[in-house]
């Protein structure tokens, strides 16, 4: 009986000892074995929310100069618009000062007054003489005909020189010279005909004037002729000076405010306040008529992604909220850069909107696009996909059955994968890992073949 009790006690002690050993062994295993989370891959089309910086783009532009400033230099006083402003015809673009105007108008006015005084003195000295005569009229017509002939012969010779044709001798022989020169342009033929017509008019005026000189009833004395000739010359000079004053005043008035020649967007101002401008360079740039601005975002040259036409896009702005648009097309610039082109929302195109000006001032606006791959692939969290510098891999969890007193064990196997695309939230891989558990977020470094335990939160 005592022996049976002793044996029973021994069995109990043995059982307790084995249980304690198993407990402490399991505790040691729990402490020393890496813990991982088990995740399952999914299958689907890879998506990535991308943000692009899009700029306002005008496909066609037109440059403008202030031609009048060639005749009177100006100093830019105040700019009334900025790049991106929509202007209507007649709106002021900038105002200017004309520092040379006062000096020029003063000089012309002094010359005008001097000529008027000279004319008055001439009339006083010759107050008994007639101010007009038929002889002087015919003489003036002869002078005018001579000027016209001189200009016409110059134009004809210049036109001929451009076609390597030399016109010599009397104007009346030029048509026959053209016939011997082979084929010539219609412009050259017209210039020669104009010279022949001018010569005929000159000969007619010359004959008329000489006829007056031979007619005692029409011919006046030399004193009268010289007086009228000089008087007519002064009258012509006075008229020219008067017209010059008018031209200068009109020019000065027009240059005080440079206005938009038509409706459109100011794309660039080439002048700044305080600049001296002489009309030889571009002053400002506008969009061509009917050219509507669009948004254009550059694509990464290293990216292999293709964003389909029609893909939705969202414009995000702190000042103007969110507006929807879509990718109209992908274009390639002359330098090879690829751009996504998107229509500008109608709310930004209204004439009272300042959005385009603000976008151009800020260097663009953020546009968000959700990229979607064309076909389904295996998708994993980025933390599951690792790299050794040369290749990418994941740790696939493999299970093995335990014995009577042991549990199933899990070991990780290093498995190479081919990464197709990657984003901050998802990695697309080529291999099919359906129904496979992947180790993720381990609490210590893993090695191929290592035993792991599932970490349960």
> In the predicted model, what is the mean pLDDT of residues 261-287?
95
pLDDT for 436 beyond 60: yes
Task: Quickly count: other Cβ atoms within 10 Å of residue 98's Cβ.
Answer: 21
Q: Is the pLDDT of residue 29 over 70?
A: no
| Mean pLDDT value of segment 236-249 | 90
Over range 35-46, report the average pLDDT: 91
Residue 288 has pLDDT above 50, yes or no: yes
Residue 422 scores a pLDDT above 50: yes
User: Is 87 within 8 Å of 285 (Cβ atoms)?
Assistant: no
Confidence of residue 187 (pLDDT cuts 50, 70, 90): very high
Residue 24: which pLDDT band, with cuts at 50, 70 and 90? very low
Confidence of residue 28 (pLDDT cuts 50, 70, 90): very low
Buried b (16+ CB within 10 A) or exposed e, 196-209: bebbebbeebeebb
Mean pLDDT for 432-439 is: 90
User: pLDDT at position 56, please?
Assistant: 95
Contact between 398 and 413 under an 8 Å Cβ cutoff? The reply is yes
| End-to-end C-alpha distance for the chain, whole angstroms | 53
How far CA 173 is from CA of 53, 153, 166, 200, in Å, comes to: 71, 13, 12, 13
pLDDT over threshold 50, residue 411: yes
Residue 4, pLDDT above cutoff 80: no
* CATH classification for the domain delimited by 31-45+377-454, as one of 2.160.20.10, 2.40.420.20, 3.90.1150.50, 1.10.10.1100: 2.40.420.20
Average pLDDT, the chain: 88
* pLDDT, average across residues 228-257: 90
Q: For residue 8, name the pLDDT band (cuts at 50, 70, 90).
A: low
What pLDDT, on the 0 to 100 scale, is given for residue 357?
92
Quote the pLDDT of residue 23: 47
- Is the pLDDT assigned to residue 1 strictly greater than 70? no
The pLDDT-based confidence of 214 (bands split at 50, 70, 90) is confident
Residue bearing the bigger pLDDT, 303 or 249: 249
Task: Kindly indicate the confidence band of residue 14, based on its pLDDT and cuts at 50, 70 and 90.
Answer: low
Average pLDDT over residues 234-251: 90
For the CA atoms of 127, 128, 132, 134, the dihedral, rounded to the nearest 10 degrees, stands at -160
Q: Given this model, what pLDDT does residue 17 score?
A: 56
Q: Is the pLDDT of residue 20 over 70?
A: no
- pLDDT range class, residue 269, cuts 50, 70, 90: very high
Partners of 55 in the beta sheet?
296
Closest CA to 26 of 407, 446, 368, 431: 407
pLDDT in tens, 105-146: 899 999 999 998 998 998 899 888 888 889 899 888 988 999
CA 388 from centre of chain: 45
For the domain made up of 50-58+291-374, give the CATH fold. Answer: Elongation Factor Tu (Ef-tu); domain 3 (2.40.30)
Task: Name residue, tokens 């005043």.
Answer: 249
Tens-place pLDDT, residues 352-369:
788 999 999 999 999 999
Tens digit of each residue's pLDDT (9 = 90 or more) over 313-367: 999 888 888 899 999 999 999 999 999 999 999 989 887 788 999 999 999 999 9
Q: Where are the beta strands (DSSP E) in 247-364?
A: 257-259, 264-269, 276-277, 284-287, 294-298, 312-317, 321-326, 329-332, 338-343
Mean pLDDT of 255-271: 94
CB 419, CB 429: distance < 8 Å: yes
Choose between 275 and 5: higher pLDDT.
275
| % the chain with pLDDT above 70 | 91
């Amino acid at each position: 009986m005592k022996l049976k009790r002793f044996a029973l006690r021994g069995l109990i002690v043995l059982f307790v000892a084995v249980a304690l050993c198993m407990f402490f062994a399991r505790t040691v295993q729990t402490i020393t074995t890496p813990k991982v989370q088990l995740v399952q891959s999914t299958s689907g089309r890879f998506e990535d929310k991308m943000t692009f910086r899009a700029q306002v783009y005008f496909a066609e532009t037109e440059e403008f100069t202030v031609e009048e400033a060639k005749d009177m230099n100006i100093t830019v006083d105040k700019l009334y618009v900025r790049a991106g402003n929509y202007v209507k015809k007649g709106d002021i673009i900038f105002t200017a000062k004309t520092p040379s105007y006062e000096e020029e108008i003063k000089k012309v006015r002094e010359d005008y007054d001097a000529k008027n005084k000279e004319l008055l003195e001439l009339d006083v000295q010759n107050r008994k003489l007639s101010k007009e005569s038929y002889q002087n009229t015919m003489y003036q017509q002869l002078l005018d005909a001579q000027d016209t002939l001189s200009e016409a012969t110059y134009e004809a010779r210049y036109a001929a020189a451009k076609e390597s044709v030399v016109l010599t001798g009397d104007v009346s022989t030029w048509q026959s010279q053209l016939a011997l020169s082979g084929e010539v342009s219609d412009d050259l033929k017209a210039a020669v005909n104009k010279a022949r017509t001018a010569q005929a008019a000159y000969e007619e005026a010359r004959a008329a004037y000489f006829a007056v000189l031979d007619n005692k009833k029409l011919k006046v004395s030399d004193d009268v002729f010289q007086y009228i000739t000089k008087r007519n010359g002064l009258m012509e000079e006075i008229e020219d000076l008067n017209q010059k004053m008018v031209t200068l005043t009109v020019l000065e008035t027009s240059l005080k405010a440079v206005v938009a020649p038509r409706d459109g967007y100011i794309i660039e101002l080439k002048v700044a306040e305080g600049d001296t401008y002489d009309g030889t360079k571009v002053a400002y740039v506008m969009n061509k008529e009917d050219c509507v601005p669009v948004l254009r975002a550059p694509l990464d040259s290293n990216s292999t992604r293709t964003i389909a036409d029609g893909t939705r896009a969202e414009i995000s702005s702190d000042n103007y909220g969110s507006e929807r648009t879509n990718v109209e097309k992908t274009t390639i610039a002359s330098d090879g850069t690829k751009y996504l082109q998107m229509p500008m929302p109608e709310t930004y195109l209204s004439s009272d909107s300042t959005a385009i000006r603000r976008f151009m001032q800020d260097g663009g606006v953020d546009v968000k696009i959700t990229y979607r791959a064309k076909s389904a692939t295996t998708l994993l969290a980025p933390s599951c996909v690792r790299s050794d510098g040369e290749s990418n891999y994941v740790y696939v969890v493999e299970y093995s059955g335990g014995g009577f007193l042991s549990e199933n064990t899990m070991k990780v196997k290093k498995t190479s994968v081919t990464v197709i695309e990657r984003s901050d939230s998802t990695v697309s891989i080529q291999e099919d890992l359906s129904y496979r558990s992947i180790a993720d977020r381990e609490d210590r470094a893993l090695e191929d073949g290592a035993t792991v335990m599932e970490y349960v939160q």
